[in-house]
Amino acid sequence: MTLRTLGAALALAIGTSAFAQTTPATLPVPDEATIPAGPMGDAIKRGKLILTDTKRQLPHNVGNGLNCTSCHLNGGTTPYASPWVGLTAAFPEYRSRSGAVISLQQRVNDCFQRSMNGKPIAFDGEDMNAILAYMKWLSSGVPVGTNVTGRGFEKIDTALAPNRDNGKTVYAQRCAACHGVEGQGLPNPQGGYLMPPLWGKDSFNVGAGMARMYTAAAFVKHNMPLGQGGTLTAQEAVDVAAFFTQQPRPDYAARAKDWPKGDKPKDAR
């Protein structure tokens, strides 16, 4: 990958105004000019900074090398990349993994403990309120109690049987240039990663949603390779997800309490 290509890919990953102009109308993303002045605007900007530069902003809460926007692309505004647009209109909501109705704060901390392999942040602290302020601003055009089209990940056929050998080949051909031959990611000379690691100590742990094969495949199908989403077939996405989700990664002991009502998905770790 050339530096020019990498720069374009990074622009997609961290968010640029050029990409925001191509965001489908199904996600009503507000213009940054609407961020208010004063303390509320400062909180919104702080929340975006935390979510896009998580490791450096909250080093005591992040146990790996990821940022929240490693998965929630373009500042949480990309459809089918688990966008944050509309979340404050949807929560509290029932989560089958928890077996309970949970708040948005609980959902945020779930990600810190699983995807970030770290520790929860203070439920009523400045950092949590800043994150919620950014998500509330993103959701300002979404009526309460509704879901935006493009929320979560694109649906994928869970009847597709994975072929890990083919997944290894797909990974080498389509993924390794950014994520590393050994899934180690692309390090940033200033610290952290330009492209996130997909396994190993600096990646998400086994309790993360992305550690589930079909969840990861749905994300890959719509979004990867970065800037070329939709170029893999559903079968290729399932195959490559079967390859990288089963690689070594940190454990998460609390996953033993997941799906307490007995509806555990077949691909859950």
Do 164-257 and 8-15+36-138 have the same topology in CATH?
yes
Quick one: which of 45, 52, 77 has its CA closest to 67? Answer: 52
Model pTM score: 0.88
What mean pLDDT is reported for the chain?
Answer: 90
pLDDT digits (tens, 9 = 90+) for 224-236: 999 999 999 999 9
CA–CA separation, 206 vs 114, rounded Å? Answer: 8
- The verdict on domain 8-15+36-138 having CATH code 3.90.79.10 is no
In the structure, what pLDDT confidence band is assigned to residue 89 with cuts at 50, 70 and 90?
A: very high
CA–CA separation, 225 vs 232, rounded Å? Answer: 8
pLDDT digits (tens, 9 = 90+) for 17-38: 333 333 344 689 999 999 999 9
SS3 258: coil
CA–CA separation, 188 vs 257, rounded Å? Answer: 36
Structure tokens at 114: 């699983």
Q: Determine the topology of domain 164-257 in CATH.
A: Cytochrome Bc1 Complex; Chain D, domain 2 (1.10.760)
Domain residue spans of the chain: 8-15+36-138, 164-257
